[in-house]
Amino acid sequence: MSPVKRLEKLYEGKAKIIYATDDPDLVIQYFKDDATAFDGKKKGAITDKGVLNNRISEHLFGVLAEAGIENQFVSCPSEREMLCKRLEIIQVEMIGRNIAAGSLAKRIGVPEGTVLRVPIVETYYKSDELGDPMLCDEHIFMLELATPEQLETMRETTRKINQVLTDYMVGRDIRLVDFKVEFGLHKGRVMLGDEISPDTCRLWDQDTNEKLDKDRFRRDLGSVEEAYQEVARRICG
C-alpha cells in the first residue's frame, strides 16, 4: 500500500484526533497524551500515553483479527498514528464486565473486586453532553442509534472480544476487569473501532490486584505513567 496523505481534521475527542486522508475509505487516528476523567471534569496529561496506547491498541487489534474479529486497524504510520478504515460510528458504547468495579460496584451495591457469576455486557449512549447514560435496547431503537441486527452483532462481538482478551491477558498476568468498545459501519458492515488500551479497560495485576489502568489517574493513585508502561511491556513484549 502506498503512503496516504493526512488531510484536514475531522474530529477531536478527549484522547484522539481523527484526520481525513487522500483515500476516502481511510482515516488517521492520532493518539494524544491528554487524560480526562469524570466526563471531562478532571483533566491532565500522562507522559507518552498516546505512544503507549497506540502501540497497545495495534497489538490487541492484531490479536482480535487473528481470532476472526474484524476491526478498523490497517497500519501505524508513526508511533502516535493509526491508519484505520473509515467508520460511521454507531453511538452506542458496549461495556463488557467480568469483575465489579467503578460505577457497577456502586450501582449494584457489591464490594469492588467481586467476580461476577457470568460476564455481562451493558450498553451506553455515546454522548458527552448527556454524560454517556446507560440505555436499554428499547431506548436504542427509539433513538434509532442501531438496528436490532446491528445491536445483536455488537453484543455478540463484545462477548467474543471478552473471551479472547481475557484468555490473552491471563497469559500476561493481567486480569481483564472490564472494558469499553465502540463499533461503526464500514461499507455497511459492523466493525470494531476506537482503541483498546488502559484508557478503555480496567486491568489489574493477576496476583496483587494492583491497578494498571486509568483508574490510577482517576483516583490519584500515582505511578500512572509506570502503569501504562508496564501494560505495554506485558502485552507487547
Q: What is the pLDDT of residue 38?
A: 81
Q: Which of 99, 73, 95 is nearest to 86 (CA)?
A: 73
- Which of the listed residues 85, 101, 132 is the one where a domain comes to its end? 85
**pLDDT tens string 6-34:** 999 999 999 999 999 999 999 999 999 99
Based on the fold, state whether residues 58 and 71 are members of the same structural domain. yes
Residue 1 pLDDT greater than 60, yes or no: no
**pLDDT tens string 117-165:** 999 999 999 998 999 999 999 999 999 999 999 999 999 999 999 999 9
Q: What is the pLDDT of residue 42?
A: 87
Average pLDDT of the chain, as a whole number: 96
Residue 169: inside a domain: yes
Q: What is the pLDDT of residue 32?
A: 97
**pLDDT tens string 166-224:** 999 999 999 999 999 999 999 999 999 999 999 999 999 999 999 999 999 999 999 99
**pLDDT tens string 77-114:** 999 999 999 999 999 999 999 999 999 999 999 999 99
**Distance from C-alpha of 160 to C-alpha of 30, rounded to nearest angstrom:** 27
Q: In 3-state terms, what secondary structure has residue 93?
A: strand
What is this structure's pTM? 0.95
Q: Which three cell numbers stand for residue 181?
A: 468498545
Residue 94: inside a domain: yes
**Band of residue 37 on the pLDDT scale cut at 50, 70, 90:** confident
Strand locations in 86-200 (E): 88-89, 92-99, 115-125, 174-186, 189-193
Residue 236: inside a domain: no
Q: What is the pLDDT of residue 174?
A: 98
**pLDDT tens string 215-228:** 999 999 999 999 99
Domain containing 101 equals: 88-224
- Which of the listed residues 18, 52, 85 is the one where a domain comes to its end? 85
- Which of the listed residues 44, 68, 85 is the one where a domain comes to its end? 85
Measure Cα distances from 114 to 111, 118, 159 in Å: 6, 11, 19
Q: Tell me the mean pLDDT in the region 47-74.
A: 98
